[in-house]
Amino acid sequence: MNAQPAPTLARTSAAVGNPFDLDDDRAWRDWREAKLADLPRSAESLTVTLRDPLALTSAERAALLDRCARHNMVLYRSGATGEDKALTRELGRQLGLLRLDANWLADEDGISPITVREGAGPAAAFIPYTNRAIRWHTDGYYHPPQRAIRGMILHCVRPAASGGSNHLLDHELAYLMLRDADPAHVRALMAEDAMTIPARTDEAGEARPAQSGPVFSVDSHGQLHMRYTARTRSIEWKGDAATRAAVACLEALLASPSAPVLCVRLEPGMGLVANNVLHDRDAFIDDPQRPRLLYRARYLDRVAGPD
């Protein structure tokens, strides 16, 4: 498809209010109507073809930013199929993604090669570096607020021989569905102690302290952030009835066949740019001669807004 931007979703201005404020019904109803009127029809409708991700044209950049502003994510297709991590970093820079989260499993440049690492160092113990399925989550759900992952890029160098597709869901739509079900569920998941990730320990002791926080929060610019994992191990939910009901409802909504979930299998040169939307991954089977390889960059920034 060409790189012409689609019409921009009407957003509620700060002067009118914030749709994520549970006490602002007018802003919520206006935003909800516009959001539902602009649902992406398919993964292909979110895909922009790039001539060269290292040097975006003004039309390509505008199309990428427009889709991210409306849907919190955009897919791209390109001929860049080589093992070049600089591509991921430079693409992010052109889209306002500058502050890389250099997590301890990333390479020195802050980019993580996502591939099966069975028996190859500490990463082998973590599920992204296996061929197993990964349940719904947002990246960095175990981070403190000052290191919240706002943006991310996932670039495919080689897909698996079979499997490995991703399902994607704009976290604003997850919020919308949950608020439609019962605003009390949203209120419960906005509590500062709604979800706790226990401390991680290793042979040296505590490698990461326990981290509590909300599932849904609104930043200083009025943007919605989601912190979530569908894992049932290494997670502690607040023990009250309201939180239990909210978590059960969210799990049911994410599993519903009517949820506006997109499915994509990234091919060489394809990638995802997103404001850390909900995503999962199917299990896969590798070709031993050409194992699956994706580059992942995670940022403390959101994707820039449209010019």
CATH for 50: 3.60.130.10
What is the per-residue pLDDT for 107?
Answer: 55
Structural domain of residue 105, as residue ranges?
25-169+262-299
Q: What is the DSSP string of 14-26?
A: TTT--TT-TT-HH
- Count the Cβ atoms, other than its own, within 10 Å of residue 122: 12
What is the per-residue pLDDT for 8?
Answer: 40
Q: How does pLDDT run across 208-232, given as a tens digit for each residue?
A: 789 999 999 999 999 999 999 998 8
Entry pTM: 0.91
In whole angstroms, what is the distance from residue 254 CA to residue 173 CA?
10
In whole angstroms, what is the distance from residue 201 CA to residue 156 CA?
32
Q: Give the three-state DSSP class for 197.
A: strand
Tokens (6 digits) for 224: 């919605």
Domain assignment present for residue 8? The answer is no
What is the per-residue pLDDT for 207?
Answer: 65
Domain assignment present for residue 215? The answer is no
What is the per-residue pLDDT for 204?
Answer: 64
Domain assignment present for residue 9? The answer is no
pLDDT in tens, the chain (307 residues): 344 333 344 443 344 699 999 999 999 999 999 999 999 989 999 999 999 999 999 999 999 999 999 999 999 999 999 999 999 999 999 999 999 997 655 555 679 999 998 765 555 567 889 999 999 999 999 999 999 999 999 999 999 999 999 999 999 999 999 999 999 999 999 999 999 999 876 666 656 789 999 999 999 999 999 999 998 888 999 999 999 999 999 999 999 999 999 999 999 999 999 999 999 999 999 999 999 999 999 999 999 999 8
What is the per-residue pLDDT for 233?
Answer: 85
What domain count does the chain have? 1
